[in-house]
Amino acid sequence: MFDNILDFLKKEKPDILVCQEVYNGQNQGLERRYRSVEVLKRELGFSGAFFSLAFYDNWGGIGKVENGNAIFSKFPIISKRTVFFDVKFDKNYVRQEGADPTFISRNMQQAVLKVNGKKMNILNLQGIWGRDGEDNERRQDMSRAIIKEIKGKESVILAGDFNVNQGTKTIADIGEHLREIFKDELVSTFNLKRKPKPSGYDKAVVDRIFTILIVIALAIYFAKNSLIYSGKAILFLILISSREIIGLPGFLIRIVLNKDSYKVKLIGKITTVIQFATITLIIINFKYVFPFIIATSLVGIVSGFDYLRDSVS
């Protein structure tokens, strides 16, 4: 299995790779999968690797081997830190096969990369574990800890194994701050032969990625065209963000009234698709991008009012 994954990654040639529950064994006598950090860095040509130890593992009698999260990058890593959730790292704990993973320590990595002269924030986490994948106080605390770390930052990519279901408040709260790439399209990437229904595993959200794409795309476009302070730049920003601008009062209403998270409708999904298409055209500096911006604005207005209406109803 490990070699198959490695072959796939060699074909894809990622510039940035984030992994969870990855081994960092130092004993050269161990199988390659138990030395994943070393092998992935070397064979995929990464110049930098940042590993955050979560706990020691003795799964299958392999001995005391480090298990945690890792960020690999072909760009310079200029700063890095690790944040633990409610269960902190215990140097004396060694997980044995069959152990209950509920209260094993979990962490979130934060690395700042220098990409083409600009800073990019990469956050990678292994979420709090539980059989049902539903909201609880521990997961809500995890969500608040994540929001605290991403709030106010630009050029953010948040990825990982969240161990929580689609449609929970835990995920919705994070989604209010960053744009979710997969939305409802990704239900699960779990191996359901090992984790069958109705355990809750089949709906648990893993490999989710949130990113502030609008800010990054517009910054690139405006920088290329020296329009960062122009009226045209402001107009583009307003038009392409029409859904977010109109929906802002609804977002505030939901916070004040503590309403359930918004169920994404077809118009919202259409808006997201058009928005991403327009953002792509902006990035490649497409000559006739303005009609797409207008289309994004019009669809965004409809979507924004739908969200607002749902919030006040």
CATH at residue 148: 3.60.10.10
How far apart CA 203 and CA 313 sit, in angstroms, is: 29
Whether 41 and 79 map to the same domain: the answer is yes
The answer for residues whose C-beta is within 8 angstroms of residue 81's C-beta and 6 or more apart is: 109, 110
Decide which of 213, 248, 265 is a domain's last residue: 213
Identity of the highest mean pLDDT range in 39-43, 169-173, 190-194: 39-43
Same domain assignment for residues 199 and 63: yes
Most confident of 88-102, 167-181, 269-283: 88-102
- Does 162 share its domain with 229? no
Taking Cα atoms as reference points, which of 148, 152, 157 lies closest to residue 115?
157
pTM: 0.64
Block residue for tokens 């689609």: 166
Residue carrying structure tokens 């790779």: 17
| Cα-based angle 278, 155, 75 (whole degrees, multiple of 5) | 110
- In this prediction, residue 201 carries a pLDDT of 46
If asked whether residues 39 and 181 sit together in one domain, one would say yes
Are residues 84 and 133 located together in one domain of the fold?
Answer: yes
- Domain extent, residue 249, equals 215-312
- Taking the CB of residue 202, how many other CB atoms lie within 10 A of it? 15
Domain end (from 165, 185, 213): 213
198 band by pLDDT with thresholds 50, 70 and 90: very low
The pLDDT of residue 235 is above 90: no
Could you tell me if 277 and 246 lie in one domain?
A: yes
| Residue that is last in its domain, among 182, 213, 244 | 213
Q: Which residue has the higher pLDDT, 71 or 247?
A: 71
Tens-digit pLDDT profile for residues 5-16: 999 999 999 999
Measured distance CA(56)–CA(64) in Å, rounded: 6
Total structural domains in the chain?
A: 2
Predicted confidence (pLDDT) at residue 96 exceeds the cutoff of 70: yes
Pair 171, 259 in one domain: no
